[in-house]
């Protein structure tokens, strides 16, 4: 009989990181129920709307979703969808279904996350026809490749892997037809901050070295040196959630440098208060009327402590460096 390995601090930290997947999905479910943006698919991953979230949280998620979608859609248009997307640490994200509905489908959409999260997502997909139907519609044969920790079709693939083990992840992606010759967008949302700086820089470098024309979009904490940042860190630590990579989140300059040091040609970074100010103001006005905000200081502080950074390399001269807000 095989002996069970003792439960380690790493296991505890990984479990806490996995829990953040549910936090994000629950928050998005509530915000969409209030009308901040439309997502007809998130209800199949979180059935109940759950308890009320503060307006600041809803607006923060609105800025995150709209900001990431803006850059992602711009990349798809630049490449005329002749590209692939890899969402690392994707959780219960619904981007694939949104792109299918909007006729903005890449050649293939990959998702990678912890095997336990992937198993749950596959279960939801298998048991909810509104999730499985779009995958089957874009698949050319009768059968999907499906097991406990992976699902593969012509246009959508989900894989269970640890992002800290790059060689294992790469092997699994290539097994499911990752094409290193295609322009590729890699997306990470609140993922790199849970890896050590050497682990995340290894991942960023792997993307730069693997694809000749690529874009990397990263959403996570920023400006974490001040008191507000310290309180955020302490709150997460109380839940056993260690921000192993927080030193890279000290400033926007550090966010840009991590890409430029790892083989990327161009890099930009904006805090979310700036992104929020650059979103279509008519829609921002609409969502600001949805709920009354007592005073804007907490929202301002929250938005100042998150950022979107993005980097490009463009051997095919597709104009990827022009993708911006």
Give the pLDDT confidence of 55-108 residue by residue, as tens digits. Answer: 999 999 999 999 999 999 999 999 999 999 999 999 999 999 999 999 999 999
Predicted confidence at residue 22, as pLDDT, reads: 81
pLDDT in tens, 263-297: 999 999 999 999 999 999 999 999 999 999 988 89
Of 137, 42, 48, the closest CA to residue 91 belongs to 42
- The values of phi and psi at residue 290, to 5°, are -70, -40
d(CA 139, CA 293): 46
Mean pLDDT value across the chain: 92
Q: Check: CB of residue 34 under 8 Å from CB of residue 55.
A: no
Q: Which residue has the tokens 């095997």?
A: 115
pLDDT higher at 55 or 237: 55
pLDDT in tens, 129-155: 999 999 999 998 877 878 889 999 999
pLDDT higher at 239 or 261: 261
What number is the average pLDDT over the span 180-190?
A: 97
pLDDT greater than 60 at residue 1: no
Predicted confidence at residue 5, as pLDDT, reads: 34
Q: Which domains does the chain have, with CATH numbers?
A: 21-322 (3.40.50.150)
Predicted confidence at residue 252, as pLDDT, reads: 96
Query: Which run of H or E residues covers position 230?
Result: helix 227-238
pLDDT greater than 80 at residue 14: no
Predicted confidence at residue 7, as pLDDT, reads: 31
Q: Where are the beta strands (DSSP E) in the chain?
A: 84-88, 108-113, 145-147, 150-152, 156-160, 184-189, 213-221, 266-271, 306-314
pLDDT in tens, 32-46: 999 999 999 999 999
Could you list the residues known to form a binding site, using ranges: 64, 89, 162-163, 189
Predicted confidence at residue 147, as pLDDT, reads: 85
Predicted confidence at residue 4, as pLDDT, reads: 35
What number is the average pLDDT over the span 172-197?
A: 96
Could you list the residues known to form a binding site for S-adenosyl-L-methionine, using ranges: 64, 89, 162-163, 189
Q: What length does the chain have?
A: 325
pLDDT higher at 158 or 7: 158
Predicted confidence at residue 11, as pLDDT, reads: 64
pLDDT higher at 17 or 2: 17
pLDDT in tens, 199-234: 999 999 999 999 999 999 999 999 999 999 999 999
Count Cα atoms within 13 angstroms, Cβ side, for 157: 26
């Amino acid at each position: 009989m095989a002996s069970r390995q003792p439960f380690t601090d790493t296991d505890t930290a990984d479990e806490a990181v996995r829990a953040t997947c549910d936090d994000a999905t629950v928050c998005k479910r509530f915000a969409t129920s209030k009308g901040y943006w439309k997502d007809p698919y998130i209800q199949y991953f979180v059935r109940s709307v759950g308890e009320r979230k503060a307006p600041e949280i809803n607006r923060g998620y609105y800025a995150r979703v709209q900001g990431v979608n803006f850059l992602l859609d711009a990349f798809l248009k630049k490449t005329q969808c002749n590209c692939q997307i890899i969402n690392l640490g994707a959780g219960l994200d619904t981007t694939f279904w949104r792109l299918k509905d909007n006729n903005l489908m890449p050649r293939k959409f990959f998702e990678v996350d912890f095997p336990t999260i992937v198993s749950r997502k596959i279960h939801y997909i298998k048991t909810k026809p509104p999730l499985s139907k779009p995958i089957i519609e874009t698949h050319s044969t009768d059968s999907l490749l499906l097991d406990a920790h992976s699902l593969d079709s012509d246009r959508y693939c989900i894989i269970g892997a640890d992002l800290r083990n790059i060689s294992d992840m790469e092997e699994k992606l290539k097994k499911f037809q990752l094409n290193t010759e295609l322009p590729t967008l890699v997306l990470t949302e609140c993922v790199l901050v849970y890896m050590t700086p050497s682990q995340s820089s290894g991942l960023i470098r792997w993307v730069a070295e693997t694809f000749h024309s690529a874009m990397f979009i990263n959403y996570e904490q920023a400006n974490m040196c001040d008191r507000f940042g310290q309180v955020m860190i302490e709150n997460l630590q109380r839940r056993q959630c260690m921000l192993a990579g927080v030193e890279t989140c000290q400033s926007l300059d550090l966010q840009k440098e991590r890409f430029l040091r790892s083989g990327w040609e161009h890099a930009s970074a904006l805090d979310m208060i700036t992104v929020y100010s650059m979103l279509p103001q008519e829609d921002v006005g609409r969502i600001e009327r949805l709920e009354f905000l007592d005073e804007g200081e907490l929202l301002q502080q929250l938005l100042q402590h998150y950022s979107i950074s993005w980097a490009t390399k463009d051997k095919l001269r597709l104009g990827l460096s022009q993708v911006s807000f």
